[in-house]
Amino acid sequence: MTKVTPTGLRRNICTNRLTAAADKKSPQVGRNFNCALGSNIKVIQKILQNDGLVIYRKIRLDTNPFRACYVIYVDGMVNSDLLNENILRHLLIFNFGDRRQAPKMSFSDVLMNRVLSTGNVQTEKVIDSAIQSLLYGNVLVLVDGIPFAFVIDAKGWEIRSISEPETERVVRGPREGFIENLITNLTMIRRKMINPALKMVFRDIGTRTRTKICIIYIEGIARPEIIQEVYRRLDKVQLDGILEPEYIIEFIRDAPLSPYETIGTTERPDTAVGKLLEGRIVIMVDGSPFAITLPYLFLEYFQANKDYYDSFLYSSANRLLRYISFFLTTSTPAIYVALVNFHQEMIPTRLLISIASAKEGVPFPAAIEAFIMLMAFQLLREAGVRLPSPVGQAVSIVGALILGEAAVTAKIISAPMVIVVALTGISGFLVPEMPGVSFFLSLFFLFSSSFIGFFGYIFAVIAVTIHMTSLRSFGLPYLSNLTSIHGKELKDTVVRAPWWWMTYRPRLLSRDKRRLADPGRPEP
Amino acid sequence: MPSFQNRQELVNELEYHYFIFLLFSIFGIVEAIQLYHQKQRKELTIYLFLLLPGLVITVYTATQVGLPSIAEELGSWFGWMSQ
Amino acid sequence: MKREPLSFKQTVYLLILFIIGSTIILPVGTEAKQDIWAAVLLAIVMTLPVVLVYARILSLYPERNLLEINEQILGKVVGRFINFLFAFYAFTLCALVLDNFGQFINVTAIPETPLAIPMLILCLLALWATKEGLEVIARSGEVYLPIIVFVATFTFLFLTPNLNINRLQPSLYQNSGGIVSAALHLFSFPFAETVIFTIIIYCTNKTKAMAKVYLAGLLIGGGIILLSVTSVMAVIGPERYQASYFPAYLAVQTINVGDFLQRVEVVVFLIAIFAGFIKISLCFFAACKGLSNALGCKEYRFLTVPLGLLEFLFASNLFNSTKQMAQWASEVYLYFAFPFQVALPMVIWILGEVKRRGRQGSPEVDLHDELR
């Protein structure tokens, strides 16, 4: 772990110097290597001056006459075993003078074909690009008399081990999650999808950090228009630093000001592959364990990956529960306030009496009460998330039990209101991806229903519907697949049908709609 | 107390008419500026020609009490409704 | 700007919601007394030829709505004048529906709040939806209709214990005048109001059979109306039906399931607001479209704010009381709406057919040239 920090730091920052140099339009920019090793090294050293992590190893090759050779790499970013065994060792012991070992080969061919025994070796003529790959963890080998550099892929730095993601735990299902290394993440996806149709397109993004991102899709399932649209929007990202997917998301998402997410993230390879198989596109950003999935529809708030790993009846029940809890978390305070303030006739008399007696002596109107309690709940939640877990638990106990109890006894808050807000909060945890949305919605509904009761509530619902129906995610209507009552689409929306029954992929998303070759109930 | 009742109503009417006036004025200014910048002169003219009378009527209805309704007026012209 | 055509399903949904609209809350067909079901059936039968005419007009000129067809058939000046009249009709209809719902909310739920507040909010919502475009209204309709069907089914189930078939008897007994008069009223409100749709939709590949769209919408919407008014009549009887401004509300008030689920009428009629909102926005959309066409503008969106203000002022000053509203609906509306619902469409249809005969020689080429 100790090695990670400087390495990570330099991977993010080191390229700055390069671009800073580039900005000044220094004469070295865009220059090619020439045959004189000394001048090449001077140019590189000039560009990388004040960079202590770069190591220059000079070797005198066993040729006649002697030729000088430089092996350049960044300390901590290369696999030292590979470097020592397959590069340095061979360069040191190879007998270049022996013509039998390399008959009729040019010197560079000898190096390429007889000496450098690593998998990925390329040649690079342009100095800037060579330095770019050096800083990405490759080894440069420069030899006197050869007007290009050998770029050897010997990357190897300390990475976090693969573990189960904290944010998306499942009871049944794979326990691996993405890590901060892009290549490792891609291999996790590739291992689940052994098919040449899985395409991975690399891009550099961020004018200074030059972060590597990878756009992943399955050819034949993903719609080409959407892929084109993704490229078009990614081209517009001209931010200088990309450290996390959110930096990109906020550039490429539709409706940037809406509280609704129109682009999803996931930390799990199995979820990512599942989305790919539905015809979605996944973007991975180097340095972050979160993958972007798009297009993202409203429906996906309610689809959890564990739905697909549990029995379909249980998953369908869970999914229904999630819809109900979304309704509860957004509407309970509003409905309570509307009932108590405007439509008392709807409450059964006994309940009304007990509510009235509980409210006796409470100084605030119901709407203010609800607002205070919702705010208090959000405060506690945020405090619990930020603190380490033992302290967080203490905070929630103090908050929930002591504060709530004391507030009711002191007649600041009425007891039914505590129940209402607790219900709101608890049901909010069932759809964990949308804390922001449900909180805003509950406040908005509360506000409007405190003015004209249920009708205010319904006006607010209409307003929210107008907003949501006007949203799109990469050309797809945000509410699509949810609003229609089609047998075909109901199978993975309100309920989760058994796998042998889900013959088709979600409509609009994919080009090849059929996912099950031979539908039918299994008959053992 | 009928007079008190009336005054109460007047305040109420004034309140929401004031709100409407404010709301539509803000909308109007924003959109009119937009139209002006887009050099849509014809649209701008129509826009103001429709909006300004609306605002004037808002102010007028806010300050009057017991106006006859449009249906009443029409009814008295054409003798539609038996009062 | 590229127009995105509505799908067949969306159009039918909108038609159903439009027909349900304010019909569900108002006393319709009171003259027919206990024979109201016959009046509704008769009205549907009367509307069938009329909607077929609407559909025919749209099918004559694919990819065009009524406004553009008018310009084509009647020439620029006359056509635009007719379009202005249609815009006025849509504007008035919008104000009427707005007023209905304002009165309804005011009378039933919040008598202390000024009548204008719910009207203002509904008007602003319709304004916003219109600004967002027809597609948003259509997709909202897709969201609302299942909810409405769901709630209506349960309401109907809970109402069944209170249904009294005796209230519908004696049926068809010396009441033919009442039935015909009620059917005429039902014809003008709500069924033939679907003339508004000729401004909104146009014939595309997706909705090739305009007649099918109209028939599906009319029959399903009419069926829902038939079911609702008949059950309301069976629950509260003709006398209370006639005496009440909002009879369906009275009927739902009688629901009482196990002494717990009672007085749910507010919740049930919240759902009616959805249909009302759709009707208001569609009318407002049609008014904006019509006016922008009459004034020769390409875009209608800039009209929404000033027209919205006028709409609100018109609606809030239209009637002083619920009584006036009911009176107007029963005495004047039929005659006011007749030219727009029947006379003008008939004239346009006949002229359109004549023109079509005239250019029979090379109709396809003509059409394609005009589309370019």
Chain A residues with CB under 8 Å of C140 CB are: 462, 465-466, 469
Q: Which of A459, A466, A485 sits opposite C140 (nearest CB)?
A: A466
- A370, A420 in Cβ contact below 8 A? yes
Q: Which of A455, A458, A483 sits opposite C143 (nearest CB)?
A: A483
Q: Which of C120, C295, C312 sits opposite B46 (nearest CB)?
A: C295
CB atoms within 10 A of CB A117: 12
CA triple C109-C112-C115, angle to 5 deg: 75
Q: Which of C9, C113, C270 sits opposite A458 (nearest CB)?
A: C270
Residue A233 pLDDT > 60, yes or no? yes
Probe site for chain B from C295, C299, C303, C313 (most B CB atoms < 10 A): C313
- C164, C235 in Cβ contact below 8 A? yes
Across C96-121, average pLDDT: 86
Closest-CA residue of B relative to C324 is: B71
- Using alpha carbons, select from A418, A463, A420, A419 the residue that is nearest to residue A440: A463
A334/A449 Cα distance (integer angstroms): 6
Residue C18 pLDDT > 90, yes or no? yes
Among A255-259, A501-505, B4-8, C83-87, the range of highest mean pLDDT: C83-87
Contact A469 C136 (CB under 8 A): yes
CA distance A413 to chain C (A): 26
Q: Which of B35, B54, B71 sits opposite C328 (nearest CB)?
A: B71
pLDDT band at B16 (very low <50, low <70, confident <90, very high): confident
Over the stretch C138-177, which tens digit does the pLDDT of each residue have?
989 988 998 899 999 998 899 888 888 888 888 777 778 8
CB atoms within 10 A of CB A267: 18
pLDDT band at C347 (very low <50, low <70, confident <90, very high): very high
Residue A20 is predicted with a pLDDT of 44
DSSP, collapsed to helix, strand or coil, labels residue C69 as: helix
Residue A43 pLDDT > 60, yes or no? yes
pLDDT band at A397 (very low <50, low <70, confident <90, very high): confident
Residue A22 is predicted with a pLDDT of 44
Q: Give me the residues paired with residue A200 across strands.
A: A216
A231/A237 Cα distance (integer angstroms): 10
Kindly list the residues of chain A whose beta carbon comes within 8 Å of any beta carbon in chain C. 342-343, 345-346, 348, 451-459, 462-463, 465-466, 469-470, 477, 479, 483-485
Residue C65 pLDDT > 60, yes or no? yes
Q: What is the largest CA-CA distance in chain C?
A: 73
Pairing state of beta strands A54-61 and A67-74? antiparallel
Probe site for chain C from B72, B73, B76, B78 (most C CB atoms < 10 A): B72
Share of chain A above pLDDT 70, in %: 90
Neighbours of chain C (3+ CB pairs under 8 A): A, B
Chain C residues with CB under 8 Å of A453 CB are: 109-110, 266
Lay out the sheet containing A67-74: strands in order across: A54-61, A67-74, A139-143, A149-152, A121-124
ipTM of the complex, rounded to two decimals:
0.91
A380/A394 Cα distance (integer angstroms): 11
Across A209-236, average pLDDT: 90
Which two structure tokens, joined as six digits, stand for A202? 């690399």
Share of chain C above pLDDT 70, in %: 94
What residues of chain C, 183 to 222, have a C-beta less than 8 Å from chain B? none
Across C112-130, average pLDDT: 89
Contact C306 B28 (CB under 8 A): yes
Share of chain C above pLDDT 90, in %: 36
Contact C318 B70 (CB under 8 A): yes
CA triple A261-A266-A272, angle to 5 deg: 115
Average pLDDT for chain C: 86
Over the stretch C191-242, which tens digit does the pLDDT of each residue have?
999 999 988 888 776 555 788 889 999 999 999 999 999 999 999 888 888 8
Q: Which of B12, B54, B70 sits opposite C317 (nearest CB)?
A: B70
How far from C131 is each of A361, C144, C285, C305, C368, CA to CA, in Å?
Answer: 47, 19, 9, 9, 30
CA distance A482 to chain C (A): 9
Q: Give me the residues paired with residue A201 across strands.
A: A215
A86/A142 Cα distance (integer angstroms): 16
Q: Which domains are seen in chain C, by residue range?
A: 8-353 (1.20.1740.10)
Interface residue C274 vs chain B (CB under 8 A): no
Q: Which of A459, A470, A479 sits opposite C121 (nearest CB)?
A: A459
Contact C125 A457 (CB under 8 A): no
Contact C125 A462 (CB under 8 A): yes
pLDDT, greater one: A129 or C284: C284
Across C355-361, average pLDDT: 72
Domain boundaries, chain A: 4-152, 182-296, 312-476
Contact B20 C299 (CB under 8 A): no
Residue A140 pLDDT > 60, yes or no? yes
Residue A100 is predicted with a pLDDT of 63
CA triple B40-B44-B47, angle to 5 deg: 140
C108/C246 Cα distance (integer angstroms): 9
Length of chain A: 524
A96-110, A123-137, A457-471, C43-57: segment of lowest average pLDDT: A96-110
- Please give the distance of CA A216 from its chain centroid, rounded to a whole number: 13
Closest-CA residue of C relative to A461 is: C274
CA distance A428 to chain C (A): 23
Average pLDDT for chain A: 82
Residue C44 is predicted with a pLDDT of 94
Q: Which of C297, C305, C306 sits opposite B42 (nearest CB)?
A: C297
pLDDT, greater one: A521 or B21: B21
Which residues have a Cβ under 8 Å from the Cβ of A104 and sit 6 or more positions away?
A: none
Across A478-498, average pLDDT: 71
Residue C364 is predicted with a pLDDT of 45
Q: Which amino acid is at A461?
A: V
Which residues have a Cβ under 8 Å from the Cβ of C81 and sit 6 or more positions away?
A: C294
How far from B1 is each of A155, A482, A493, B5, B65, CA to CA, in Å?
Answer: 90, 56, 60, 6, 17
Residue A489 is predicted with a pLDDT of 63
Q: Which amino acid is at B54?
A: G
Q: Which of C295, C307, C324 sits opposite B69 (nearest CB)?
A: C324
Residue A334 is predicted with a pLDDT of 94
- C112, C105 in Cβ contact below 8 A? no
What residues of chain C, 134 to 163, have a C-beta less than 8 Å from chain A? 135-136, 139-140, 142-144, 146
pLDDT band at B64 (very low <50, low <70, confident <90, very high): confident
What residues of chain B, 4 to 33, have a C-beta less than 8 Å from chain C? 12-13, 16, 20, 24, 27-28, 31
Chain A residues with CB under 8 Å of C139 CB are: 469, 477, 479, 483
Residue A391 pLDDT > 70, yes or no? yes
Contact C263 A346 (CB under 8 A): yes
A14-28, A206-220, A411-425, A454-468: segment of lowest average pLDDT: A14-28
Over the stretch C262-317, which tens digit does the pLDDT of each residue have?
778 888 888 889 999 999 999 999 999 999 999 988 888 889 999 999 999 999 88
A224/C278 Cα distance (integer angstroms): 35
The interaxial angle of helices A312-341 and A366-386, nearest 10 deg, is: 140
Q: Give me the residues paired with residue A284 across strands.
A: A214, A291
Q: Give me the residues paired with residue A134 across strands.
A: none
Pairing state of beta strands C256-257 and A476-477? unpaired
Closest-CA residue of C relative to B14 is: C114
pLDDT band at A290 (very low <50, low <70, confident <90, very high): very high
Residue A153 pLDDT > 80, yes or no? yes
Burial of C111: CB neighbours in 10 Å, binned 0-12, 13-18, 19+: exposed
Across A333-337, average pLDDT: 93
Across A331-345, average pLDDT: 89
A274/C39 Cα distance (integer angstroms): 56
Residue A238 is predicted with a pLDDT of 86
Residue C167 is predicted with a pLDDT of 83
A487-496, C196-205, C325-334: segment of lowest average pLDDT: A487-496
Which two structure tokens, joined as six digits, stand for C248? 């369906």
Chain C residues with CB under 8 Å of A345 CB are: 263
Backbone conformation region of residue C8, classed left if phi is above 0, alpha if psi is from -120 to 50, else beta: alpha
Contact A483 C142 (CB under 8 A): yes
C205/C59 Cα distance (integer angstroms): 11
B65-69, C54-58, C176-180, C185-189: segment of lowest average pLDDT: B65-69
CA distance B56 to chain C (A): 11
Q: Which of C114, C308, C313 sits opposite B13 (nearest CB)?
A: C114
Chain B residues with CB under 8 Å of C328 CB are: 71, 80-81
First to last CA, chain A: 52
Across A186-209, average pLDDT: 90
Chain B residues with CB under 8 Å of C303 CB are: 46-47, 50
